[in-house]
Structure 1
């Protein structure tokens, strides 16, 4: 078997339960990134097999179904929020008023360029303004301050790949995680920039990240309470919910987590208000 970067593979020792993308080759092992999950792993060469087109297609179909289900749930909730806004602005539909929305702007910093592209496509599909940046996780703490100054976001997403490594120590030791410390440092820098959790909403983390550390650092939402893998698109659904929710409304943690693909075992957070603001009157371009 001749491996090369970009090959889609699985690990027999884990019953080939996840698909990975080969990101780096070494003499005795390979570095892998989850194809759908934000997980980074090392694997010996003998524990890696190239996935057949048939198996890959079956996996992609199943993954697509999960993504579509979350998208439908999100759109359903978005429609309900829109209807509630129309009711409030028109005083119970008693007046004919056109209004506009200033949706929260997202700064999405991602350690995986392919995930960044998928996430940006979903933000655009959901109508959420986003500025996306690809950075290696180790570079993020050095770059986030200048990005915050440039983009002036309402919401920051700091994500990429992570993993808990048993060989490094206990689950409570942040040194046992590949990238949690970099995500946490980004959160601390962002909180120095704006210390109010309702003025700058932060999501941080990836697969198996140390949830408690990220929340204590100042994140509103983070992964992963049960140290499980999270889906590549999960941060988008959380950030988008914040972007589309009025600053007058508190976000239901139960509802926002329900709309993600992974759910509350992989994602959590603290009480947070939305950042969207309504305005009137609506000015049309042809007027």
Structure 2
């Protein structure tokens, strides 16, 4: 079977459990990126199985169903937050007073251009201001300082692809992870820029990343506590929740993790306050 970069395949040795995109090809092996999960892997060409259009469509429909559940949960929580904000803005009185929301601005660094586009589209659906940058994970630590100065974000997402490789060491050996060390260095640079974990909120990690290292480096939220795969859109749900939560309120950890596609096995974090601030009055162009 002749493959080309961009083909969608599965791995026979893993019971064809996940869809992958081919990123690079050699005579004998292929570098693969998860189609839905933020996993980077390599495999012999004879281990790959091409995916038919029908199978692709079925798998993507199942993935879409999971995304829809998370989206509905997020929207429900957003509506409740808006009602609370309306009550707070009017001190509980019936009033025609209007207010506006200053939501937290996100700087999203992603090692995968395809994922970045999907994430940006979801931020826009949520009404969250975002500045997205596609960067190779290994280059992120060298670029993040200048990006922080330029964008002045409230929230930083540092993600892409990662993987734990048993052949390189045990689960606590950072050399056994493809990109965790680069994510962690990125977090440390960001924390030098702003040490307060409630003034700059950081999410870091991808599939199977070393959760404890990223939290110790200074992240508020990270992956992956159980070294499992995380969904491509999970960082967006966490960043958007922070962006739309009042700075007076703490993020309820279980609530934010519940809204993700992967859940608490793949994502975790520490107590963190929201970023959003209310303002009054709301002035329209006509007024």
What TM-score do the two structures reach when normalised by structure 2?
A: 0.99
Cα deviation code 1:68-100 (max 9, x no counterpart): 110000000000000000011112133321000
Distance 1:63 1:197 in 2: 33
2:190 is matched with 190
- Inter-partner Cα distance in structure 1 for 2:15 and 2:93: 57
* 1:24-173 alignment, distance < 5 Å: 24-173=24-173
Show the counterpart of 1:234.
Answer: 234
Once the two structures are TM-superposed, the CA of residue 270 in structure 1 deviates from its matched residue by: 0.1
Q: Which residue of 2 aligns with 1:248?
A: 248
Q: How does 1:205-216 map to 2 (within 5 A)?
A: 205-216=205-216
CA–CA separation in structure 1 for the residues paired with 2:91 and 2:211: 42
CA–CA distance in structure 2, aligned partners of residues 85 and 276 of structure 1: 10
Check the 8 A contact 1:86/1:93 in 2, yes or no: no
What is the TM-score when the length of structure 1 is the normalising length?
Answer: 0.99
What do the CA deviations read for 1:33-83 (whole angstroms, capped 9, x no partner)? 000000000101111011011111110100000011100000000000000
Distance (whole Å) between structure 2 residues aligned to residue 123 and residue 93 of structure 1: 32
> Gapped runs of 5+ residues in structure 2?
none
Confirm or deny: 8 A CA contact 1:205 1:214 kept in the other structure: yes
Distance 2:126 2:281 in 1: 23
Deviation at 1:119, TM superposition (A): 0.2
CA distance in 1, matches of 2:88, 2:147: 36
1:228-254 residue CA offsets vs partner (Å, 9 max, x unmatched):
000000000000000000000000000
Structure 1: give runs of 5+ residues left out of the alignment. Answer: none
Q: How many residues align?
A: 287
> What is the RMSD computed on CA atoms of the aligned residues?
0.6
Distance in 1 (CA, whole Å) between partners of 2:35 and 2:28 is 22
Q: Distance in 2 between matches of 1:270 and 1:223?
A: 12
CA distance in 2, matches of 1:276, 1:91: 18
Instruction: Indicate the residue corresponding to 2:269 in structure 1.
Output: 269
